[in-house]
């Protein structure tokens, strides 16, 4: 018994599945396969089956791959905008590619290979979304003034773009190459569950139905996906589309849900006290009928809600991810959030912990940020605690859990490191099939490309103007961290469905700044910061490619594709994706930094703040070390320490919906699925009951797939429209700032009362000067900067809504034509009525 490998991920195989494996009758996309996902037994069986049969199924079609690349490259720019807007790299590119492949009657193999190129193109520029904007924030944003100036005096955009884009291409290739050697460990021998992949797999299953002529099964599945896509988009329209332009909320156009919340609120309390811009949150007192600071409770020593923040984002995507996670994994992610928001954040506030303030150049006790009589004013103390102390602990927890987890898996890696040794010695991998070709990308190419990437990185940074020595050091750090931290990031993705690109990128930034700032490498402080941030951008693109290729490998295993073709598709998608995605991200970064557009950009702001702290020599090593120990302990206790660390890194509105989704699935399986399956087992036998179980579970996967699709589509459309909004505005004159002198003379505010300026600026000044229009005001050490939101041209809201309707009608028409030509819709259904899936669900 001691020799049996134990796993936190592996599920028990079903009797029917084991019997089919023993007989060799189990095949791709059948019911026994769906019932045995992530069992390890199934994956090892399919790996052996694919080695024999995939050469007859997995075929490369350059034309179809180029179509996938084109879709991914176009959406890489849209992904950049969404990533900066909400902090998540959401993209509908792969859905578009899947739907197009099905409409054109491509085989599942062709769809999978083509979309591997699509995902490669959309992920090649992730570093430019999360890290690169920090350069522009540090150079131009008033939020990141250090003393009397900025940490970065100027930015040569062309120079940095050249370095970042070309280096990201090589790093993306490296990320794909490295994870060839982890495929067998995490997808075959001890398969990571990768919550959410089931929706992708089902889409491939639908492709199989369409291609083989069984359009009825595809029609039923597409009806479910389509219905829930429409419902999700309708829901997102109600809570997110800016309908209320005439009556702005918090200075911006409000959605119907925002308007309703305000309508059902009084001066101090009401629905707006618990609902603000897609978030249901803890009660917060209103100010003149408006939610304060986005619904977040301002600090008051006697108010327990000002010591934490609890909320739920109304996001179908997050609920769907929780459904795929199931309760255990979702709970472990939330355990990190619970520790952060119920213990660590309140503890930091209660202890009045000092945090470093770069604008003042000194440490400030955290409760002073909630004191309106002192400077600087930052009334949302709990979020200040989270972004400074707790997120540093979370980064340490991700690192500690990941490294300890890798150490625990050392015996599993023995064979893998043997493969690496063979690669360096020039021997052929066992995945090469004589007279048939490569089943997997040749391992012998890995050391060759490592050498190419090493010298390419040095050449790129030297041509870009940096000295040789730091360029060599960066190349070494990149080769090492892409392998080690990339492994940690991919494991987190395998556990939770979310890859912590920004979390692991923080560690790389820390390493690079420590090296460049403390060793005599010939760099000034400004050059060190620039090179570290550009280098971290390159790393982010590398591990993002690692995550996407492993996800594509996961699906290819279940449909009989060769990993060689998946690797090739991802590699081909890197170049156009890096160019277009990075170009859009750089353009938006400049607008973000100079205040032309209003985007959340949480990762970019976090990197900017973290860089200032490290560059000024004020890193919180105790918090980082504490986090490392917490993550290692969570890994030892639960086997999922990296998930725990990721939960600490996320706010509760993001993690709580996952917990709700996971709990809902467990409840549904226990109260609805299992009783029905048991009833069928008693009346029709085990085989029929397992088949019904698979069908009912697949039906829920289709609902989740529709939720993911709907929010992704709506997000893409919102991004395009939001960009258009920026060009349909007209600025009305308003003074740029109010200085001490202005306040003293015009408002009678004394210097020692300067902390009250925020209240004056948003009420009295707004009322006296601009007839009550809300202002966006910010307190600086010597003045208050207030900006009036630019007013939208009178005809734009109606034109915008008309465009929104036209786009969706056109999209629906295009899909209808394509699917009708493929025989998917517009065909009279058989007289049998509803599908078995629907029959099973109706019986509940």
Which range of 669-678, 740-749, 753-762, 775-784 scores highest in mean pLDDT? It is 669-678
What integer pLDDT is reported at residue 589 of this predicted model? Answer: 86
Q: At residue 18, does pLDDT exceed 80? A: yes
Instruction: Give 158-200 pLDDT, tens digit per residue.
Output: 898 999 999 999 999 998 988 887 787 788 877 888 877 876 7
Percent of the chain past pLDDT 90, that is, above it, reads: 21
Q: How far apart are CA 753 and CA 12, in angstroms?
A: 67
Residues in the chain: 844
C-alpha angle 175-180-185 in degrees, rounded to nearest 5 = 120
Q: At residue 254, does pLDDT exceed 90? A: no
Contact 648, 339 (CB under 8 A): yes
- Strands 437-438 and 783-787 turn out to be unpaired
What integer pLDDT is reported at residue 773 of this predicted model? Answer: 45
Q: At residue 522, does pLDDT exceed 80? A: yes
Instruction: Output the 3-class SS for 418-434.
Output: HHHHHHHHCCCCCCEEC
What integer pLDDT is reported at residue 636 of this predicted model? Answer: 86
Residue 821 pLDDT class (50, 70, 90 cuts):
low
What integer pLDDT is reported at residue 399 of this predicted model? Answer: 77
What integer pLDDT is reported at residue 146 of this predicted model? Answer: 78
Q: Lowest-confidence range among 45-59, 369-383, 455-469, 600-614?
A: 369-383
Q: What is the mean pLDDT of residues 616-620?
A: 72
Q: At residue 463, does pLDDT exceed 90? A: yes
- Supply the mean pLDDT for the chain: 78
| Closest to 423 in 3D by CA, of 449, 453, 447 | 447
C-alpha torsion sign, points 63, 64, 66, 70 = positive
Q: At residue 837, does pLDDT exceed 70? A: no
- Cα of 680 vs its chain's centroid, Å: 40
User: Phi and psi at residue 28, in whole multiples of 5°?
Assistant: -65, 135
Percent of the chain past pLDDT 70, that is, above it, reads: 75
What integer pLDDT is reported at residue 98 of this predicted model? Answer: 75
DSSP, collapsed to helix, strand or coil, labels residue 391 as helix
Q: At residue 225, does pLDDT exceed 90? A: no
Q: At residue 472, does pLDDT exceed 90? A: yes
What integer pLDDT is reported at residue 407 of this predicted model? Answer: 75
What integer pLDDT is reported at residue 841 of this predicted model? Answer: 33
C-alpha angle 1-8-123 in degrees, rounded to nearest 5 = 140
Q: At residue 364, does pLDDT exceed 50? A: yes
Contact 150, 551 (CB under 8 A): no
Query: What is the pTM (predicted TM-score) of this model?
Result: 0.71
What integer pLDDT is reported at residue 332 of this predicted model? Answer: 83
Q: At residue 224, does pLDDT exceed 90? A: no
Q: What is the mean pLDDT of residues 343-362?
A: 84
Higher pLDDT, 287 or 150: 150
Which range of 150-154, 491-495, 786-790 scores highest in mean pLDDT? It is 150-154
| Closest to 381 in 3D by CA, of 287, 273, 301, 277 | 301
Higher pLDDT, 501 or 112: 112
Instruction: Give 677-705 pLDDT, tens digit per residue.
Output: 888 888 888 767 766 776 677 678 778 87
Q: What is the mean pLDDT of residues 61-85?
A: 82
Q: Lowest-confidence range among 142-146, 243-247, 332-336?
A: 243-247
Residue 307 pLDDT class (50, 70, 90 cuts):
confident
Q: How far apart are CA 566 and CA 546, in angstroms?
A: 12
C-alpha torsion sign, points 44, 48, 51, 54 = negative
Q: What is the mean pLDDT of residues 291-305?
A: 75
Q: At residue 663, does pLDDT exceed 90? A: yes
Residue 759 pLDDT class (50, 70, 90 cuts):
very low
What integer pLDDT is reported at residue 312 of this predicted model? Answer: 92
Contact 42, 36 (CB under 8 A): yes
Q: How far apart are CA 20 and CA 22, in angstroms?
A: 5
What integer pLDDT is reported at residue 293 of this predicted model? Answer: 64
Q: Where are the beta strands (DSSP E) in 643-764?
A: 729-730, 737-739
What integer pLDDT is reported at residue 410 of this predicted model? Answer: 65
| Closest to 83 in 3D by CA, of 531, 417, 544 | 544
The residue written with tokens 């007013």 in the block is: 791
What integer pLDDT is reported at residue 45 of this predicted model? Answer: 94
6: Cβ contacts below 8 Å, ≥ 6 apart:
none
Residue 829 pLDDT class (50, 70, 90 cuts):
very low
Q: How far apart are CA 198 and CA 324, in angstroms?
A: 8
DSSP bridge partners of 150: 145
Q: At residue 586, does pLDDT exceed 90? A: no
What integer pLDDT is reported at residue 433 of this predicted model? Answer: 76
Q: At residue 519, does pLDDT exceed 60? A: yes
Residue 732 pLDDT class (50, 70, 90 cuts):
very low
What integer pLDDT is reported at residue 533 of this predicted model? Answer: 95
| Closest to 253 in 3D by CA, of 784, 793, 766 | 793
Residue 601 pLDDT class (50, 70, 90 cuts):
confident
Q: Lowest-confidence range among 446-450, 578-582, 830-834?
A: 830-834
Which range of 1-5, 60-64, 76-80, 393-397 scores highest in mean pLDDT? It is 60-64
What integer pLDDT is reported at residue 165 of this predicted model? Answer: 93
DSSP, collapsed to helix, strand or coil, labels residue 301 as coil
Residue 375 pLDDT class (50, 70, 90 cuts):
very low
Higher pLDDT, 221 or 774: 221
Higher pLDDT, 77 or 69: 69
Residue 78's region, left for phi above 0, alpha for psi from -120 to 50, else beta, is alpha
Which range of 151-155, 400-404, 751-755 scores highest in mean pLDDT? It is 151-155
Residue 265 pLDDT class (50, 70, 90 cuts):
confident
DSSP structure class, residue 270: B
Q: What is the mean pLDDT of residues 766-782?
A: 45
């Amino acid at each position: 018994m001691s020799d049996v490998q134990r796993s936190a991920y592996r599920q028990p195989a079903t009797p029917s599945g084991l019997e089919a494996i023993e007989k060799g009758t189990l095949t791709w996309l059948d019911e026994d396969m769906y019932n045995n996902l992530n069992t390890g037994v199934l994956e090892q069986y399919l790996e052996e089956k694919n080695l024999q049969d995939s050469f007859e199924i997995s075929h490369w079609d350059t034309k179809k791959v180029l179509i996938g690349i084109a879709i991914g490259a176009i959406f890489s720019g849209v992904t950049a905008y969404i990533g900066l807007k909400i902090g998540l790299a959401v993209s509908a590119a792969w859905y578009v590619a899947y739907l197009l492949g099905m409409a054109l009657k491509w085989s599942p193999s062709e769809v999978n290979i083509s979309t591997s190129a699509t995902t490669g193109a959309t992920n090649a520029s992730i570093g430019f979304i999360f890290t690169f904007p920090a350069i522009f924030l540090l150079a131009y944003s008033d939020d990141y003034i250090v003393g009397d100036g900025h940490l970065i005096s100027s930015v040569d955009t062309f120079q940095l773009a050249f370095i970042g884009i070309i280096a990201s291409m090589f790093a993306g290739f490296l990320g794909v190459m490295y994870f060839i050697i982890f495929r067998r460990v995490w997808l075959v021998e001890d398969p990571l569950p990768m919550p959410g992949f089931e929706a992708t797999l089902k889409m491939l299953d639908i492709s199989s139905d369409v291609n083989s002529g069984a359009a009825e099964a595809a029609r039923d599945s597409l009806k479910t996906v389509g219905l829930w896509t429409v419902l999700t988009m309708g829901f997102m329209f109600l809570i997110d589309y800016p309908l209320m332009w005439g009556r702005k909320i918090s200075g911006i156009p409000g959605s119907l849900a925002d308007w309703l919340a305000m309508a059902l609120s009084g001066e101090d309390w009401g629905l707006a006290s618990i609902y603000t811009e897609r978030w249901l949150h803890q009660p917060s007192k209103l100010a003149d009928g408006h939610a304060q600071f986005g619904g977040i409770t301002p600090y008051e020593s006697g108010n327990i809600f000002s010591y934490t923040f609890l909320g739920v984002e109304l996001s179908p995507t997050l609920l769907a991810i929780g459904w795929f996670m199931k309760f255990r994994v979702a709970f472990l992610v939330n355990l990190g959030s619970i520790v952060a928001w119920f213990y660590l954040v309140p503890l930091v506030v209660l202890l009045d912990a000092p945090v470093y303030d770069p604008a003042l150049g000194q440490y400030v006790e955290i409760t002073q940020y909630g004191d309106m009589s002192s400077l600087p004013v930052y009334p949302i103390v709990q979020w200040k605690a989270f972004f400074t102390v707790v997120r540093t602990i979370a980064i340490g927890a991700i690192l500690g859990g990941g490294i300890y987890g890798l150490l625990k898996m050392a015996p599993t890696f023995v064979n893998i490191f043997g493969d690496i040794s063979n690669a360096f010695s020039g021997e052929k991998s066992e995945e090469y099939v004589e007279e048939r070709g490569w089943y997997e990308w040749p391992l012998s190419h890995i050391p060759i490309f490592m050498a190419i990437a090493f010298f390419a990185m040095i050449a790129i940074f030297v041509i870009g103007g940096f000295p040789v020595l730091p360029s060599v050091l960066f190349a070494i750090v990149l080769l090492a961290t892409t392998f080690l931290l990339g492994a940690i990031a991919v494991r987190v993705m395998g556990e939770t469905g979310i890859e912590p690109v920004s979390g692991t990128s923080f560690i790389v930034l820390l390493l690079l700044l420590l090296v460049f700032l403390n060793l005599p490498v010939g760099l000034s402080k400004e050059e060190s910061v620039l090179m570290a941030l550009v280098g971290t951008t390159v790393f982010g693109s590398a591990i993002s490619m690692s995550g996407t290729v492993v996800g594509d490998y996961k699906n290819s295993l279940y449909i009989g594709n060769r990993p060689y073709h998946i690797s090739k598709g991802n590699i081909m998608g890197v170049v156009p994706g890096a160019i277009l995605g990075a170009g859009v991200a750089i353009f938006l970064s400049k607008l973000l930094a100079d205040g032309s557009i209003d985007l959340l950009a949480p990762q970019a702001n976090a990197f900017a703040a973290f860089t200032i702290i490290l560059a000024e020599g004020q890193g919180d090593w105790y918090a980082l070390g504490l986090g490392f120990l917490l993550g290692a302990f969570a890994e030892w206790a639960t086997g999922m320490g990296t998930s725990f660390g990721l939960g600490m890194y996320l706010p509760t509105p993001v993690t709580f919906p996952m917990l709700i989704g996971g709990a809902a699935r467990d409840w549904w399986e226990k109260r609805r699925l299992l009783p029905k399956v048991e009833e069928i087992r008693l009346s029709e036998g085990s085989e029929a009951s397992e088949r019904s179980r698979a069908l009912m579970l697949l039906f829920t996967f289709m609902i989740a797939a529709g939720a993911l699709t709907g929010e992704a589509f709506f997000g893409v459309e919102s991004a395009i429209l939001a960009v258009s909004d920026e060009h349909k505005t007209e600025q009305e004159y308003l003074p740029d700032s109010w200085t001490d002198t202005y306040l003293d003379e015009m408002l009678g505010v004394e210097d020692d009362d300067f902390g009250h300026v925020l209240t004056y600026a948003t009420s009295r000044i707004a009322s006296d000067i601009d007839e009550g229009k809300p202002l966006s005001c910010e307190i600086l050490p010597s003045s208050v900067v207030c900006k009036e939101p630019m007013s939208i041209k009178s005809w734009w809201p109606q034109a915008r809504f008309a465009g929104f309707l036209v786009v969706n009608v056109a999209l629906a028409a295009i899909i209808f034509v394509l699917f009708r030509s493929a025989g998917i819709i517009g065909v009279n259904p058989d007289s049998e009525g509803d599908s078995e899936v629907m029959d099973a669900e109706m019986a509940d």
